Amino acid sequence: MFSRYASLVKNLRGVVLLDPEEGEGGVKWLQERFKYRNLGVPPSALEEAREFFKDRLGGKPFVELVYPTRVLEELASVLTEDLRAEPRVVEGVVLASAYVSPILLIGRRVQEQVAELAIDVVESKLDMDLKQWKLHLRIADYTVLDLYRWSTEHVEALLEGRVELQEFRKERKDKVRRDKARYWRLTKAEGAPWKFLYYLDLASRLSKQGLQQVKGLGKEASAGLSIEAAVVIMPRLTA
């Protein structure tokens, strides 16, 4: 599986979570925007929407993702139970972290499920045209990339007992608050606000019992616990 992971990670530009019932417009929009790059579909999301993806999978842009290691698959199971969260959402966040990619959300129900896990949000007051969408999808990619090394090493410090859980949570919230400055173009506009991006940090939401379980998985689990960005795809705003 690791060879499959290695072949995907360099060219991946996002991990898709969607509701098949309301995903047609968003998926078509992504297909038009990512003709030469890959977008990953997690195994559980694919299982739920296999019929939806049957003629879209295998080429660009949509590819089926794999867990690069068994530890990350076990991590997703631990997180799902400890956080009492939707399994497909947890899997998507863990894999997005492992592939160092933002999450792309399509559909109201999956957005609501992600919102329940979010530690912060970027609200846009700008009705974005295509140029603005391209810019801010790229900025979201930088959010994930720039936070990855720090946030995974920070998790390792937590697992090794070099930082307490309360301080860990505070430091990560502070990091996210500073990162939000990237999106100043969205927040300085004057339109009606809508949610553009959610910050996700499953590590900071762990209970003490859940933390002990993650510690049992070893340092490798940190690869699935970076701070993530989930962008709400709203293609109607690109007209």
Rounded (10°) angle between helices 130-159 and 208-215: 80
Query: pLDDT tens for residues 74-118?
Result: 999 999 999 999 999 999 999 999 999 999 999 999 999 999 999
Cβ contacts of residue 22 below 8 Å, gap of 6+?
106, 107, 108, 109
Q: What pLDDT score was predicted for residue 11?
A: 82
Q: Which residue has better confidence, 95 or 61? A: 95
Residue 137 CA to chain centroid, in angstroms?
12
Task: Provide the pairing of β-strand 12-18 with 38-41.
Answer: parallel
Contacts of 108 (CB under 8 A, 6+ apart): 19, 22
Distance CA 135, CA 96 (A): 20
In the chain, the largest separation of any two C-alpha atoms, in whole Å, equals 51
What gap in Å lies between CA 184 and CA 60, rounded to an integer? 32
Q: Which of 166, 41, 168 is nearest to 101 (CA)?
A: 41
Q: Going by C-beta distance under 8 Å and a sequence separation of 6 or more, which residues neighbour residue 11?
A: 37, 38
Instruction: Dig out the tokens for 71 from the structure.
Output: 């530890």
Q: How confident is the model at residue 196, as a pLDDT?
A: 96
The pLDDT of residue 115 is 97
| Domain residue extents for the chain | 2-234
148-202 pLDDT, tens per residue?
999 999 999 999 999 999 999 999 999 999 999 999 999 988 889 999 999 999 9
